[in-house]
Copies of this chain bind each other. A is one copy, B any other.
Amino acid sequence: MTEPAFQDLYPEDFAHCYGCGRLNTEGYQIKSRWDGEEAVARFTPQAHHTSVPGFVYGGLIASLMDCHAMGTAAAARHRADGLTLGDGWLRRYVTASLNVNYLKPTPIGVPLEVRARPTQIKGRKVVVEAWLLAGTVECARGQAVAVEMPDSMVQQR
């Protein structure tokens, strides 16, 4: 049986993210899963997700890295707490900083793989390294600092 995606384990109130919310029907619905010590998400951009002809829009690449890194942070924290996926919801992380180096133009029209691994888990913070592959070619590499969502961001309804 396939493990659930990290983003499918966010509480319902926090599952509307444009990048990865399973309840956002207009969003990208990025799905991240463990692959050993790394996390992987696969995504095939559509033709309109272009920058200049033939290549993927850098803002989309930043978006893929962002949501994949936040999911990886949440899953890494969960694992560090001794829990397995499915033991309750994942905590929801938000981005404190995101840094992306665009190493090569990313070709459009092919499946992309975003990979990530946590490099630091400390208190409410998780640092995640992420990189993007088109086939075997690394096209971008970045780092995100994830912080557990503060209570001040929870809106009363």
Contact = CB atoms under 8 A, between A and B. Distances in A.
Interface string A41-75: 00000001111111101111011101100000000
Given A58-B66, A59-B62, A53 B16 contact: yes
A127 B143 CA distance: 20
The number of times this chain is found in the oligomer is 2
A153 interface: yes
Interface string A94-128: 11111111100100000000000000000000000
Contacts of A55: 153
B94 A101 contact: no
Given A18-B57, A55-B153, A94 B98 contact: no
A66 B90 CA distance: 30
A50 B96 contact: no
A31 interface: no
B97 A50 contact: no
A152 to B, nearest CB: 8
A52 B97 contact: no
A59 B63 contact: yes
5 contacts: A13-B52, A14-B52, A53-B155, A58-B94, A62-B100
Interface of A: 13-14, 16-19, 21, 24, 26-27, 48-55, 57-60, 62-64, 66-67, 92, 94-102, 105, 149, 153-155, 157
